[in-house]
Structure 1
Amino acid sequence: MKKTLILLLPALALLQIGCRSHRPVQPEFEQLAIDTLLERRGADCRIEYRFATIRNTSESAALQAIETANIGYFFQVEAFEGNAAQAAELAIREIDTTLLADVQPTQTYEISIESEGHASDTLATYVITRSSYTGGAHGIYGIEYHTYSLKSGLEITTGDLFTESQAERLDEVIRKKICETYHVTTDDELSELGFFPEYIGATENFLIDDRGITFFYNPYEIGCYALGGIEVTLTREELSAL
């Protein structure tokens, strides 16, 4: 996406101000629910999809672009040009031929993916929540945030929100806030808690709201599974100081 935002604070302002006379078409979300049970060699896999689809994509090229991107993220299919139901069929076939190719008899596997969408004048936020058990000691879960411009349909990245110098300071601020939260001061202390200090920094998994920006890290991204999901919120005041 071209750097049309440059700084985060103007982006935050869009959430509340917006130009009413040029307000882009707002997405109308509705849920597509798909439940499937796959069985093979005495094992089964329960799949539950709750996809928040945009029903009025015909009203805007931007909405169609956002829908296409969401389908790719949700069903984890690349360069897919069909609709959500077709993407679900493809994803289920992939699970049937890969996950269930080497199953344990009587084992029950579960895959649950849910999503929801929100819009505020010029921005749309899409949230995907995953939870699954596909073998091993425990299940896995994660949350993904995707923010789009309703005018262009393009996804907003940290490169659109921060300059290079701001991005460097941003990484430092995130590390400092994590240290403050966990009452440590050094990388060695972070490591002892289960963090991976070398991976701590800004992530593209973020949420913009009226508080500021929240970076979300799923298990194993910057720390061990036991640490769970980690959120780091930077307020408007902290962002303005970058």
Structure 2
Amino acid sequence: MSKLFLFLAAAFLFCSCSNSKPTQLSQDSVNTDTAVYSIKSIIENDEDCDSTLSKDCRIVDITYPEFENQPALNDSINERIQKIYTTETSYGSVSDMVQGFMADYRNFKTDLNFNNRVYNLMSKTRVLSNDQLVSLKTESYIYTGGAHGGSFVAFINWDPQARKQISIQDVLKPDTYDSLQVIAEKIFRKNEGISSTDPLKQYFFEDNTFVLNENYLFTPEGIKYLYNEYEIKPYSSGRTELLIPYDSIRNLLKPKSAISHLFTAN
């Protein structure tokens, strides 16, 4: 991951972003479940807001699954949610982060520049698949008093047998990551309508060099990469998705891995 991306991600999470309403969190289909989990929810309303008179009292609304007998997976989910609101304070849990967020909001309300702007911290983690591969999508929105809020999407790919996250290196043959990036760049340039020789100066890639990030989802069609707002394009351009079909990288993939059932069935 480029240094530029780390800087931009930090800037997004720290930015005090007119009082806009949260973006609508999308719905995703859920496959037949095989692992047992329950849905946890954390909700906080503005203490000075009458919820019987206003629908805009909600400050925090976080939902996420908690799996039975999968403590490492639950830790990964909690760590991912805690990245939504990054400050100098290190929080030990999602609940602690929420309390810190609410405390910061109360302090903000005493500021001369408050102008009745309301903080928002919304996050929903969904189980997209739950069989040989557990796939999760965390979609979040945060507003902390500035010109606009920001949204962020992140994925978790989990091997329930090995009880660990599945990295891209886990599914690639040795020494093939560079080949993956070459194929990905060709797809990216085609999607963006630019030639193989056009410079990438309009994007935020370090040294104008294309690079895959670490935010991807193993889907039945291929590996889907997602660049969030500010990551490689201005905020106004939104997110960028890049799907690498398995057919285009079949010779790079290990014949046996936690995702092999996805591309051998194609």
**Alignment partner of 1:204: what SS?**
coil
Question: Partners of 1:66 and 1:111 in 2: how far apart?
Answer: 23
Give the alignment partner of residue 222 of structure 2, picking from 203, 212, 218.
212
Q: Aligned partner of 1:143: which letter?
A: V
Q: Give the match for residue 9 of structure 1.
A: none
The alignment's TM-score, normalised by the length of structure 2, stands at: 0.66
Question: Partners of 2:104 and 2:204 in 1: how far apart?
Answer: 30
Q: Aligned partner of 1:117: which letter?
A: V
The alpha carbon displacement at 1:166 in A equals 1.5
**Alignment partner of 2:164: what SS?**
coil
- CA 1:31/1:139 → structure 2, altered by over 3 Å: closer, same or farther? same
Give the unaligned 5+ runs of structure 1.
Answer: 1-24, 58-62, 81-86
Q: Give the match for residue 189 of structure 2.
A: 179
- CA 1:79/1:109 → structure 2, altered by over 3 Å: closer, same or farther? closer
**Alignment partner of 2:119: what SS?**
strand
The equivalences for 1:196-235 within 5 A come to 196-198=204-206, 200-235=210-245
Q: Aligned partner of 1:153: which letter?
A: R
CA contact (8 A) 2:43 2:58 kept: no
**Alignment partner of 1:175: what SS?**
helix
- CA 1:152/1:115 → structure 2, altered by over 3 Å: closer, same or farther? same
The Cα offsets for residues 124-178 of structure 1, whole Å up to 9 and x where unpaired, read as: 1111000122122221001110011101211111222224632112222222212
Q: Which sits farther off after the overlay, 131-140 or 90-99?
A: 90-99
How high is the sequence identity, in percent, across the aligned residues? 17
CA contact (8 A) 2:81 2:94 kept: no
Q: Aligned partner of 1:66: which letter?
A: L
- CA 1:111/1:28 → structure 2, altered by over 3 Å: closer, same or farther? same
Give the alignment partner of residue 80 of structure 2, picking from 65, 69, 73.
73
Q: Which runs of 4+ in 1 moved over 6 A?
A: none
Give the alignment partner of residue 89 of structure 1, picking from 95, 111, 120.
95
How many corresponding residue pairs? Answer: 201
The alpha carbon displacement at 1:33 in A equals 2.2
Q: Give the match for residue 32 of structure 1.
A: 40
Q: Give the match for residue 25 of structure 2.
A: none
The alpha carbon displacement at 1:185 in A equals 2.2
Q: Aligned partner of 1:161: which letter?
A: V
Write 1 or 2 for the structure with the bigger share of strand. Answer: 1
- CA 1:201/1:163 → structure 2, altered by over 3 Å: closer, same or farther? farther
CA contact (8 A) 1:179 1:190 kept: no
The alpha carbon displacement at 1:47 in A equals 0.7
Q: Which sits farther off after the overlay, 94-103 or 163-172?
A: 94-103
**Alignment partner of 1:240: what SS?**
helix
Question: Partners of 2:91 and 2:178 in 1: how far apart?
Answer: 32
CA contact (8 A) 2:45 2:59 kept: yes
Q: Aligned partner of 2:143: which letter?
A: Y
The alpha carbon displacement at 1:179 in A equals 1.2
Question: Partners of 2:145 and 2:102 in 1: how far apart?
Answer: 15
CA contact (8 A) 1:205 1:215 kept: yes
The Cα offsets for residues 93-113 of structure 1, whole Å up to 9 and x where unpaired, read as: 211344543451411121110
- CA 1:189/1:118 → structure 2, altered by over 3 Å: closer, same or farther? same
Q: Aligned partner of 1:51: which letter?
A: Y
**Alignment partner of 1:191: what SS?**
coil
Write 1 or 2 for the structure with the bigger share of helix. Answer: 1
Give the unaligned 5+ runs of structure 2.
Answer: 1-32, 49-56, 253-266
The alpha carbon displacement at 1:75 in A equals 3.1
Question: Partners of 2:199 and 2:148 in 1: how far apart?
Answer: 26
Question: Partners of 1:166 and 1:111 in 2: how far apart?
Answer: 39
**Alignment partner of 1:108: what SS?**
coil
